[in-house]
Amino acid sequence: MHRHDPQYYVSKLELVPHPEGGYYKRTFESGERTSDQELKVNFAGKRKLYTSIYFLLRSHDVSHFHRLKSDELWYYHAGSPLTIHIIDENGKYKEIKLGLNFDKGEVPQALVSKNSIFGSSVMDGDTFSLVGCMVSPGFEFQDFELFTQRDLLLKYPQHKDIIMKLAYEKIPENS
């Protein structure tokens, strides 16, 4: 397999399909835990201080719009640049380009603040992007919320174009 083939990374890093789209593997997690009483977060039980994954997205896939109760730091690793699409808590839309071409406004790491609705896509063409994501407090699927196009269009009609591209028409059964 060619080094620039996404299947190379999926195989070598033992990535598996992610419910939001793309492939992932949990790589690191804190041995320490915290509760929402120490933080400005509302969740049941305790969470690891942080969790980290590899995440690979191919150009013909998208990471569908979702929300976390924690901050998520993104780190560029390989492949093409990746665009993170964010609708923040105030309903403002912005894009962050994750990559290494600083002259084109790309950055090698970025923060998606907790409670933002976000997804991602890879630049056009037959390519992929490999990134790392660290969530703090640590990621748990019970804090993961997917959205339908209808859900988001009712609240953010001004962002129709990106919502139609990144939100599910219907949430998949096994998400």
Higher pLDDT, 100 or 48: 100
H helices present in 1-140, as ranges: 6-12
Residue pLDDT, tens place only, 19-73: 888 999 999 998 887 766 666 666 677 778 899 999 999 988 999 999 998 999 9
pTM score of the predicted model = 0.90
For residue 125, pLDDT over 90 is answered with no
Q: How do 62-67 and 117-122 pair as beta strands?
A: antiparallel
The domain 48-145 having CATH identifier 2.60.120.10: the answer here is yes
The single-letter DSSP state of residue 14 is: T
DSSP 141: G
pLDDT value of residue 62: 92
Helices (H), the chain: 6-12, 149-155, 160-166
- As beta bridge partners, residue 60 has none
Q: In the predicted model, is pLDDT for residue 1 greater than 50?
A: no
pLDDT value for 102 = 97
Task: Give the model's pLDDT for residue 45.
Answer: 73
Per-residue pLDDT at 99 exceeds 70 = yes
> Which pLDDT value is given to residue 175?
56
- Alpha-carbon torsion angle 41, 114, 143, 171, nearest 10: 150
The reported pLDDT for the residue numbered 33 is 79
Q: What is the pLDDT of residue 22?
A: 92
Q: How confident is the model at residue 138 (pLDDT cuts 50, 70, 90)?
A: confident
**Residues 139-167: tens digit of each pLDDT:** 888 888 999 999 999 999 999 999 999 99
- Confidence at residue 36, expressed as pLDDT on a 0 to 100 scale: 63
Judge contact between 13 and 59, C-beta under 8 A.
no
pLDDT (average), residues 119-138: 90
**Where do the structural domains in the chain lie, given as residue ranges?**
48-145
What is the signed CA dihedral for 37, 41, 46, 49, rounded to 10 degrees?
-110
Q: Return the closest-CA partner of residue 78 out of 158, 19, 15, 9.
A: 9
